[in-house]
């Protein structure tokens, strides 16, 4: 068996609407939506340039049913590039593109093999003596352990299993086709190409059991490098694995400690210093960053009293560093130093009146109900992103600082 290489990708989510971003900045949402397609184009280009033997996609090619044929034609066009280069594409359907979910179809090149959902099967690449085993999702929800239905390994062949699964379970991901590492090892395969979990993970190296992560991050919940993996094989064994960074847009989170900041200007300077490494590593891609301001600082009231102004200044600082470094969201989680809460000398002390107000049970009940009502009126993607109830304490702290900042004249 001669040496060869292949690319393992998963969770392309082509056609993902990114609706929450569209409500805030239509141009940014357009560029992010295009990023997923460009990432797949880059994957195809690298596959051709590296002369890989085949490409594996472990589910969720599409984000859901097509609104029209555009996204289907895009995928067909890209795999046709692989076909012309003599590179087969082998894939399974996942929960987002299960047989019951995708109602439209476009004829794909004959070199594209999609595993059926009724039973697990084997697809052979005879020239390489590679046996690929897989099974697609018939429906979005698959509670059973599909790995137990996979065929036995073919002796003398390189055996590769393709499975869309939550495996042992991951926070933030639905449990689909659950299985254990031991279940996968028991099949006797040489490599397991998994999909569904959007973070890169090596569950085992004997055999290799790998989640490549999704091809392109889609929100602040999917931070850091995204892409696929290049797998090298020699004499029937995996000899190396290389991560391929293919994302055209990247989400990041940073925390800025403002303990030493005395005013808004020094707070902005501290934020700019923390953002600088992200700009240096942007490498031509769009970078969206959520900034958390933290620490006990004299600048607390001034920051909260002019959130919009502070947000604009941090965005301006980001653009001074890199034209495509964007502020995804600003979270102010600073605290007022005890010494800053001083009696104003007036008959009524605002700070004393507001102290512990947010811990009053009646207040929390009424405010929580109001937040739930507001969240219920938001579009679903925005509501999922803006978890107002979970940020109740932070919202109270910001409201208190805003009121006190304006009453005492502590503005930016």
258 and 294 Cβ atoms separated by less than 8 Å: yes
Residue 384 has pLDDT above 60, yes or no: no
Q: Check pLDDT > 80 for residue 255.
A: yes
In this prediction, residue 411 carries a pLDDT of 45
Q: What is the pLDDT of residues 155-212, one digit of tens each?
A: 999 999 999 999 986 655 678 999 999 999 999 999 999 999 999 999 999 999 999 9
Contact 399, 305 (CB under 8 A): no
pLDDT at 275: 97
- Residue 265: per-residue pLDDT: 97
Alpha carbon distances (Å) from 65 to 95, 103, 379: 11, 6, 20
Instruction: Give the burial string for 168-192 (b: 16+ CB within 10 Å, else e).
Output: eeeeeeeebbbbeeebbeebebbbb
pLDDT one-digit tens code per residue, 107-126? 999 999 999 999 999 999 99
pLDDT band, residue 26 (cuts 50/70/90): confident
* pLDDT above 70 (res 24): no
Report the C-alpha gap between 213 and 197 in whole angstroms: 6
Q: How far apart are the C-alpha atoms of 355 and 399, rounded to whole Å?
A: 12
DSSP state of 14: B
pLDDT over threshold 90, residue 1 = no
Query: With the C-alpha atoms ordered 188, 190, 195, 198, is the resulting torsion angle positive or negative?
Result: positive
Per-domain residue ranges of the chain: 4-245, 250-408
Look up residue 381 and give its two tokens.
């993607």
- Residue 409 pLDDT: 54
- The span from the CA of 82 to the CA of 224, in Å, is 28
Whole-angstrom distance, CA of residue 169 vs CA of residue 319: 39
Asked whether 238 and 190 are in contact (CB, 8 A), the reply is yes
pLDDT confidence of residue 343: 47
pLDDT computed for residue 381 by the predictor: 52
Residues with Cβ within 8 Å of residue 139, at least 6 apart in sequence: 98, 99, 100, 101
Percent of the chain with pLDDT over 70: 83
The answer, yes or no, to whether residue 279 has pLDDT greater than 50, is yes
Determine contact, residues 201/210, Cβ cutoff 8 Å: yes
pLDDT at residue number 412? 39
Please tell me the total number of residues recorded for the chain in this structure.
412
Reported as a single tens digit per residue, the pLDDT across 303-336 is: 998 999 999 999 999 999 999 999 999 999 999 8
- Provide the mean pLDDT of the chain: 88
The pLDDT of residue 388: 60
Highest mean pLDDT among 17-21, 50-54, 139-143: 50-54
The whole-angstrom separation of Cα 224 and Cα 287 is 10
Distance CA 330, CA 24 (A): 14
pLDDT top residue among 398 and 86: 86
pTM greater than the 0.75 cutoff: yes
Q: What is the pLDDT of residues 71-109, one digit of tens each?
A: 999 999 999 999 999 999 999 999 999 999 999 999 999
Q: Reduce the DSSP state of residue 131 to 3 states and report it.
A: strand
pLDDT class of 254 with cuts at 50, 70, 90 = very high
| Dist CA 230 CA 297 (whole Å) | 47
59 has pLDDT over 50: yes
Q: Label residue 283 by pLDDT band (50, 70, 90).
A: confident
- The span from the CA of 272 to the CA of 264, in Å, is 12
Measured CA to CA in angstroms, residue 333 lies from 103, 134, 317, 330 at distances of 46, 47, 20, 10
Architecture of domain 4-245: 4-Layer Sandwich (3.60)
Q: Read off the pLDDT of residues 337-365 as tens digits, 9 standing for 90 and up.
A: 885 445 445 555 565 566 566 667 877 78
């Amino acid at each position: 068996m001669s040496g060869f290489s292949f690319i393992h990708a998963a969770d392309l989510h082509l056609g993902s609407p990114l609706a929450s971003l569209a409500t805030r900045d239509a141009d940014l949402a357009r560029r992010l939506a295009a990023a997923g397609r460009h990432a797949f184009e880059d994957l195809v280009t690298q596959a051709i340039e590296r002369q890989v033997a085949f490409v594996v996609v472990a589910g969720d090619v599409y984000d859901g049913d097509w609104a029209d044929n555009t996204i289907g034609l895009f995928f067909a066009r890209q795999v046709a590039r692989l076909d012309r280069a003599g590179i087969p594409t082998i894939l399974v359907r996942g929960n987002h593109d299960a047989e019951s979910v995708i109602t439209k179809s476009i004829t794909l090149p004959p070199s594209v093999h999609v595993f059926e959902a009724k039973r697990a099967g084997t697809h052979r690449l005879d020239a390489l003596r590679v046996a690929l085993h897989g099974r697609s999702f018939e429906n979005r929800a698959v509670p059973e352990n599909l790995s137990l239905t996979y065929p036995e390994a073919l002796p003398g062949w390189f055996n590769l299993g393709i499975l869309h699964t939550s495996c042992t379970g991951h926070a933030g991901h639905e449990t689909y086709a659950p299985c254990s590492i031991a279940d996968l090892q028991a099949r006797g395969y040489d490599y397991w190409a998994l999909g569904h979990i959007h973070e890169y993970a090596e569950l085992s190296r004997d055999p290799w059991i790998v989640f490549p992560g999704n091809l392109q991050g889609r929100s602040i919940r999917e931070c850091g490098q995204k892409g696929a993996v290049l797998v090298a094989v020699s004499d029937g064994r995996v000899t190396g694995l290389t991560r391929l960074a293919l994302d055209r847009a990247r989400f990041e989170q940073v925390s800025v400690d403002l303990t030493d900041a005395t005013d808004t200007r020094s707070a902005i300077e501290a934020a700019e210093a923390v953002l600088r490494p992200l700009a240096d590593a942007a490498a031509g891609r769009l970078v969206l960053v959520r900034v958390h301001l933290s620490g006990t600082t004299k600048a607390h009231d001034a920051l909260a009293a002019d959130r919009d102004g502070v947000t604009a200044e941090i965005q301006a600082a980001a653009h001074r560093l890199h034209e495509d470094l964007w502020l995804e969201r600003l979270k102010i989680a600073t605290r007022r130093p005890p010494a800053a809460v001083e009696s104003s000398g007036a008959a009524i002390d605002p700070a004393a009146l507001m102290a512990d107000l947010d811990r009053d049970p009646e207040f929390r009940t009424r405010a929580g109900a109001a937040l739930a009502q507001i969240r219920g009126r938001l579009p679903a993607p925005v509501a999922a992103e803006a978890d107002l109830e979970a940020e109740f304490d932070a919202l109270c702290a910001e409201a208190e600082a805003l009121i006190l900042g304006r009453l005492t004249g502590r503005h930016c």
